[in-house]
Amino acid sequence: MRAGAEDIKKLYGFMLRRRQVERYFSDNAIRKVQLGTSHSLIAGWLNTDLLPNSPEVVYLDATTRFPFKDSTIDYVFSEHVIEHMEYQSGLSMLLECYRVLKPGGKIRMSTPDLRVLVGLLSSEKTPSQNFYIDFATRKFLPDTAHCKEVFIINNAFRAWGHQFLYDRQTIEATMRTVGFENIRYYRPGESDDENLRGIESHGRVMGCEEFNQFEAFAVEADVPGNKKPSSDH
């Protein structure tokens, strides 16, 4: 029954999508698309999700071809989305982001840092690591009494539908393979571009911004000004 309800929601969203996209394009000179919105809508953005939970969210499966023409979008943003996909699906999403972004357009993604999580295994813990371990244990693994960091790392791989966790080197290499350039990193919420500043909401959703600041990083990148047509990419 749940699967059937989700299929109906997707079908209904698909039927509405063309009109929703056209309206957004008509009303907004700067076109900004959020992938995997869930309940975290951003004003002025085309908020999309695989399972739209309100009329303000547009149906979009980020692992398939996006319903936009080449080079028509100025910004793409996703928060805690790419780690929910297998690597090849994440690569396909990035290729689609590159296709629809204009020359000079920007992408921003926030995602958990695998290197930070693995660092929890260090024998001497920093205050931030101890805080993260205590908070994560209380919130997600309250019955864990020993080797808490091992349980937390395993939970990060298995919970919430996570499929592939990135560190900075891996996400950068993947984005460069797609064609993005000028790759740079920020703390969640921070950016040199006012359109990308303060748009993360995972800390609020989790009920602890310090938790999110510790485990996640934000990466931004640009589409080259001399971007080749997608058929040549």
Residue 31 pLDDT grade (very low, low, confident, very high; cuts 50, 70, 90): very high
Q: Phi and psi (nearest 5°) for 103?
A: -55, 130
Q: Phi and psi (nearest 5°) for 75?
A: -135, 145
User: Is 132 a domain residue?
Assistant: no
User: Is 205 a domain residue?
Assistant: no
Helices 127-140 and 148-158 pack at an angle, to 10 degrees, of 60
* pTM score, whole prediction: 0.92
Task: State the total domains in the chain.
Answer: 1
Domain that holds residue 89: 2-112+166-196+216-232
Task: Say which DSSP state 229 is in.
Answer: P
Residue 21 pLDDT grade (very low, low, confident, very high; cuts 50, 70, 90): very high
User: Is 140 a domain residue?
Assistant: no
User: Is 47 a domain residue?
Assistant: yes
User: Is 19 a domain residue?
Assistant: yes
Residues 153 and 116: their CA atoms lie apart, in Å, by: 10
User: Is 99 a domain residue?
Assistant: yes
User: Is 117 a domain residue?
Assistant: no
User: Is 86 a domain residue?
Assistant: yes
- What pLDDT does residue 227 have? 83
Instruction: Calculate the average pLDDT of the chain.
Output: 92
Residue ranges with strand state E in the chain: 32-35, 46-49, 58-59, 73-79, 101-112, 181-186, 216-222
Query: What pLDDT digit, counting tens, does each position of 66-103 carry?
Result: 999 999 999 999 999 999 999 999 999 999 999 999 99
Q: List the CATH number of the domain containing 182.
A: 3.40.50.150
Residue 185 pLDDT grade (very low, low, confident, very high; cuts 50, 70, 90): very high
Residues 47 and 132: their CA atoms lie apart, in Å, by: 30
